[in-house]
Amino acid sequence: MVFENDDIAVLDAGGADVCEHGSLAAYLMHSKANKSGFAIIELANCRYPGLILRSLSMVAQLGVYISAYRKDQVGSHGASFESGATFPPYWRLDNADDRKEISTVTIICTNQPALLADAVTRQVEQPELQRFEISAAQLAANYNQALEQGIEVDPGQWDALNAAAWPILVRSDTQSRSGAGPM
């Protein structure tokens, strides 16, 4: 934790995968938003920041509105979850920056939708920007297709994800499941 007050927190991932800190950032944000109505969390210096969308989805399903923004080698990215939503609309502005291997994700969370509406409207009012957009419905369809057909993952990214997950994964056997809930 680099900085924290009632409404804002800055976490430094130290170049680690977002998998290691994404859930912490998402639930800290939710806790702060529930307490004060609004929260901003910045997760600095993380790899594979797009993977935080799963954690944000889990928090949005708890009844808050979320917008997340980041920049990387491809460009600027954003996603905004409605309260209760599983999938967000997603957008990307292509403006490559080869120096951005590690990203900072800025997440805004509120229980008052009007606080995020103006930011989303202002983005739409800039037609000169070439945007790539995917609707929440298309993301849901892509998710279902991936479940049916599988996905292809870059071997380097797969190795990095496995390395990040290895310390927390356990073998699935009777002993590991004991005390873990109903069987």
> What CATH number is attached to the domain comprising 147?
3.30.1370
- pLDDT on residue 6: 85
| pLDDT tens profile 124-173 | 555 555 567 778 888 889 888 988 998 888 888 888 777 777 766 667 77
- In this predicted model, what pLDDT tens digit does every residue of 58-73 receive, in sequence order? 999 999 999 998 888 7
Is 153 a domain residue? Answer: yes
pLDDT at 178: 72
Residue type, 126: Q
Residue 63 belongs to a domain? yes
Q: Report the number of distinct structural domains present in the chain.
A: 1
97 Cβ contact partners less than 8 Å away, ≥ 6 residues apart: 71, 72, 73, 75
Let me know if residue 131 belongs to a domain: yes
Return phi, psi of residue 153, to 5°.
-115, 135
pLDDT score for 50: 80
Q: How far is CA 107 from CA 33, 101, 116, in A?
A: 11, 19, 11
Q: Rounded distance, CA 73 to CA 49, Å?
A: 12
| Max CA pair span of the chain | 59
DSSP 3-state of 81: strand
CA distances from 118 to 122, 123, 124, 141, 148 (A): 6, 9, 10, 28, 38
HSE (side-chain half, CA atoms, 13 Å) at 123? 20
Short-list 16, 6, 26, CA closest to 108: 26
pLDDT for residue 64: 93
Bigger pLDDT: 17 vs 49: 49
29, part of any domain: yes
Assigned domain for 176 exists: no
Q: What is the pTM of this model?
A: 0.69
CA-based end-to-end distance of the chain: 37
For residue 143, the Cα-to-chain-centroid distance in whole angstroms is 16
The answer to whether 75 touches 129, Cβ cutoff 8 Å, is: no
Containing 38, the helix (H) or strand (E) segment is strand 38-46
Number of H helices, E strands in the chain: 6, 8
**pLDDT at 58 (0 to 100):** 92
pLDDT at 120 over 60: no
Residue 50 falls inside a structural domain: yes
Structure confidence at residue 183 as a pLDDT band (50, 70, 90): very low
Residue 52 and residue 26 in contact, taking contact as beta carbons nearer than 8 Å: yes
What pLDDT shows up at residue 63? 93
pLDDT at 33: 92
Please report the pLDDT score of residue 52 as a whole number.
87
Which DSSP symbol is given to 94? E
124 belongs to a structural domain? yes
Is pLDDT of 109 > 90?
Answer: yes
Percent of the chain with pLDDT strictly greater than 70: 81
Kindly state whether residue 136 falls inside one of the protein's structural domains: yes
Which residue range(s) make up the domain with 68? 3-170
Q: For position 129, what pLDDT does the model report? A: 56
